[in-house]
Amino acid sequence: MTLAVLVDATGLSRATAHRLAVALEVHGLLGRDAAGRFVLGPRLTGLDLPGLARPALEALRDTTGESAQLYVRRGDHRLCVASLESPHGLRTIVPVGMSLPLDVGSAGTVLGDGPGAGGDGWAESVEERERGVASVSAPVHNAAGEVVGAVSVSGPIERTTRAPGRRYAAAVLHAAAAIAAALQRQTSSGSEPSAWTPS
Residue 105 domain boundaries? 49-189
pLDDT of residue 134: 96
CA distances from 30 to 24, 27, 124, 165, 198 (A): 5, 8, 30, 34, 12
> Beta 147-156 vs 67-74: how paired, if at all?
antiparallel
pLDDT of residue 118: 56
Helix axes 14-26, 3-10, angle to 10 degrees: 110
**Residue 198 falls within a domain, yes or no?**
no
The DSSP code for 193 is: P
Give the number of domains in the chain: 2
Q: What is the mean pLDDT of residues 175-186?
A: 92
**Residue 197 falls within a domain, yes or no?**
no
Whether 66 and 128 share a structural domain: yes
138 forms beta bridges with 151
pLDDT of residue 19: 93
> Beta 147-156 vs 30-32: how paired, if at all?
unpaired
Tens of pLDDT, residue by residue over 99-146, are: 899 999 999 999 987 555 555 689 999 999 899 999 999 999 988 888
Tens of pLDDT, residue by residue over 7-61, are: 999 999 999 999 999 888 887 788 777 677 888 776 666 667 888 999 999 999 9
Whether 129 and 177 share a structural domain: yes
pLDDT of residue 136: 96
Whether 114 and 169 share a structural domain: yes
- Closest to 77 measured CA to CA, from 126, 111, 38: 111
CATH of the domain at 122: 3.30.450.40
Whether 80 and 177 share a structural domain: yes
Q: Left if phi > 0, otherwise alpha if psi is -120 to 50, otherwise beta: which for 116?
A: left
Whether 119 and 32 share a structural domain: no
Whether 18 and 90 share a structural domain: no
**Residue 17 falls within a domain, yes or no?**
yes
- Closest to 155 measured CA to CA, from 170, 133, 126, 187: 133
Whether 83 and 150 share a structural domain: yes
**Residue 196 falls within a domain, yes or no?**
no
Whether 92 and 17 share a structural domain: no
Find out whether 28 and 197 touch, Cβ atoms under 8 Å.
yes
Q: Left if phi > 0, otherwise alpha if psi is -120 to 50, otherwise beta: which for 71?
A: beta
